[in-house]
Amino acid sequence: MSDKPVPIPDEISAPFFDGARQGRLMLQHCSACDGWSFPVRERCPHCFAARLAWRQASGRGSLYTFTVMHQVMNPGFASAVPYNIAQIDLEEGVRMTSNVVGIGNDALRIGMKLEAVFEGVGENVSLPKFRPAGR
């Protein structure tokens, strides 16, 4: 069995991963139109301005949709099956794909309130996961 694949931060995504290591959900915010964006990009998806800066997001959102993965697509995830793959609508207006933790897959409900938590997944890399709010 191999280890789970770990993202490799690059120059543009480094602030996202630096924030996650510190337990903060960092997103890009456009100073031209006040829009938030995710995933990481070089220009604002709303107004196409190159005026994106990193800001700490609330880490709060709701479950938009999810699926439960039963098939091992990568040997690194063999011990985790079944696991959920979730899309979370963040309060800032962007949608993020992650996992919901701290609750059984059978208890997941569309619209449930969630909050970010951070999981170390390798040497110096943490990823945002989400748990039911208030836990």
Could you tell me if residue 98 is inside a domain?
yes
Could you tell me if residue 8 is inside a domain?
no
Domain, as residue range, for 44: 14-132
- Residue 12 carries which DSSP code? T
Look at the chain and report how many structural domains it folds into: 1
- Spell out the per-residue pLDDT of the chain, length 135, in tens: 347 888 999 998 999 999 999 999 999 999 999 999 999 999 999 999 999 999 999 999 999 999 999 999 888 888 889 999 999 999 999 999 999 999 999 999 999 999 999 999 888 899 999 999 987
Could you tell me if residue 23 is inside a domain?
yes
End-to-end Cα separation, the chain, in angstroms: 32
Could you tell me if residue 3 is inside a domain?
no
Could you tell me if residue 24 is inside a domain?
yes
* pLDDT in the model for residue 67: 97
Could you tell me if residue 128 is inside a domain?
yes
Measured from the Cβ of residue 130, the count of other Cβ atoms closer than 10 Å reads 27
Could you tell me if residue 113 is inside a domain?
yes
Could you tell me if residue 7 is inside a domain?
no
